[in-house]
Amino acid sequence: MAFTIAVDGPAASGKGTISKRLAQELGFAHLDTGLIYRAVGKRVLTGQEPLAAAQTLQAEHLEDDSLRTPEVALAASKVAVLSEVRAALTDFQRAFSRRDGGAVLDGRDIGTVICPEAEVKLFVTASAEARAERRFKELAGKGIETTFEEVFADIRARDERDMGRAEAPLKPAPDAVHIDTTDMSIEDAFAAAMARVRARQESA
């Protein structure tokens, strides 16, 4: 049976961690759609045309540690404004969302464009300062040299591009449950998400 959980939100809001935990707990498949845009962005950085890079994307392109760098994140947010690139990536994400056994997808437009029919929609946010602090620690932990100021500026620039674009802008679906993780532990954020899923499962 299909059951889709759509998790949207800005960079480093905690949506990836919540999504992974939900998928683990429920035995659902998980798709980090940001990784798809990052993989296309990376291919463009190496000289490909954005549309060709999206149309010829293979699963193996997602298995690349360098996709997590700030440069690739920036390149991802630039290709993500192109409607033909988004269109080329839609069918794969939709098919994934309705697979048997349930699916969790996290991104920017899952509840609004990819799966408006999702059984559960979450919109995960946190203050820009808290998100930059988390991302700075994450990058430092990976040995990527940067400063808090740089990470903060990158996140702000990406927020603006993601929210301001004409095509599939980052915004909550009208029926999304908001989770602000600024002052929440991962445990509490996960519990809030799980409570929503359980309520929906019981009402089905």
- Of residues 145 and 202, the one with the C-beta less far from ligand CDP: 145
Most distant CA pair in the chain, distance: 50
Query: Which positions lie near ligand CDP, rule CB under 6 A?
Result: 11-12, 16, 33-34, 37-38, 73, 76-77, 80, 107-109, 158, 162
Rounded CA gap, 154 and 72, in Å? 11
The residue at minimum Cβ distance from ligand CDP is 34
Q: Please identify which residue in the block is written with the tokens 């961690």.
A: 17
Q: 82 vs 194, which CB is nearer to ligand CDP?
A: 82
Kindly state the smallest distance separating residue 37's Cβ from ligand CDP, in Å: 3
Q: Label each residue of 101-159 as H, E or C.
A: CCEEEEECCHHHHHCCCCCEEEEEECCHHHHHHHHHHHHHHCCCCCCHHHHHHHHHHHH
Distance in Å, CB of 93 to ligand CDP, minimum: 8
Minimum distance of ligand CDP from residue 4's CB (angstroms) = 14
- DSSP lists the bridge partners of residue 105 as 6, 31
Nearer to ligand CDP, 91 or 202 (CB): 91
Backbone angles phi, psi at 6, to 5 degrees: -100, 125
- 126 vs 177 by CB, closer to ligand CDP: 126
